[in-house]
Amino acid sequence: MRVVSICSSSKANCTYIESGGKGFIVDIGCTYKALCSGLALAGRSVDDINAVFITHEHSDHIDGLNVLTKHLNVPVYASEGTMNAIISKGKAAPGADLRLADEAVNAPVNVKAHAFRTPHDSAESTDYTFSDGESRIAICTDLGKVTDEVRENLLGCRFVLLESNYDPQMLTRNLNYSYPLKERIRSDRGHLSNGDCAAFARELVSSGTVSLMLGHLSQNNNTPELALSVTERALSAAGAVRGRDYILGAAAVVGNGKAIAI
């Protein structure tokens, strides 16, 4: 499998995955133009997309869905709650092929897709794992805590794109964020902090994960360098050596088209 981060931040999220010549995306929070540009950098086009998997209905995950479904007639998978929210917001083109996440196992791609529930302040948030029979990977962002269901689905994955959203001190000092907003971010239905991510990263590497990409970093309450350093320190404390036991990187706000081969 190949994984390409088109974009990843609090403003827009989209990941392209390919296996056996068939590609698909998880979320489409960027514009259609940005998607096309990101795919072009990876040597791909929207014609290579065979399915779309949506995690939840927040704008940074679905803003480009309406235009995409006008250009592309492929199935769009989401939980029932998310699907209803997408429809009520008018975020999918009329006649779009909308399907429930539970049907993702039959998606027209060369992997077995599986949706699992995540705790987030949305209608019915899900994340996904994808398996080609040899390796299993996961896209897991926008969750306030690591639940048993999350742990059950991610442990043993070879590659994980995991949320490392905010640095607690930067969030506390941010004068542009109201107290209620800060509490929402820190809540069990908000986002994972760098420390939360690092603690779970130790479990993942111990279970066999060899490649970690930190994603959905806040542009106002985090930096890639800070997020990476917190996770690397946690893994080093557990005896894991970067470059020997695992590969670690941070997804860019706007991707550079580089693919990770899994």
What local confidence, expressed as pLDDT, does residue 255 receive?
Answer: 72
Residue 254 has pLDDT above 90, yes or no: no
2-27 per-position pLDDT tens digit: 999 999 999 999 999 999 999 999 99
Q: Reduce the DSSP state of residue 16 to 3 states and report it.
A: strand
Burial of 131 (0-12, 13-18, 19+ CB in 10 A): middle
What is the distance between the alpha carbons of residues 29 and 226, in angstroms, rounded to a whole number?
Answer: 24
Cβ neighbours of residue 190 closer than 8 Å, sequence gap 6 or more: 120, 121, 144, 184
Residue 259 has pLDDT above 90, yes or no: no
What local confidence, expressed as pLDDT, does residue 252 receive?
Answer: 81
Residue 256 has pLDDT above 80, yes or no: no
Residue 262 has pLDDT above 80, yes or no: no
Cβ contact 196:142 at 8 Å: no
What local confidence, expressed as pLDDT, does residue 215 receive?
Answer: 96
Top-level CATH class of 2-261?
Answer: alpha beta
Q: Mean pLDDT, to the nearest integer, of 65-90? A: 96
204-252 per-position pLDDT tens digit: 999 999 999 999 999 999 999 999 999 999 999 999 999 999 999 999 8
What local confidence, expressed as pLDDT, does residue 242 receive?
Answer: 96
Helix (H) or strand (E) run with residue 2 in it: strand 2-8
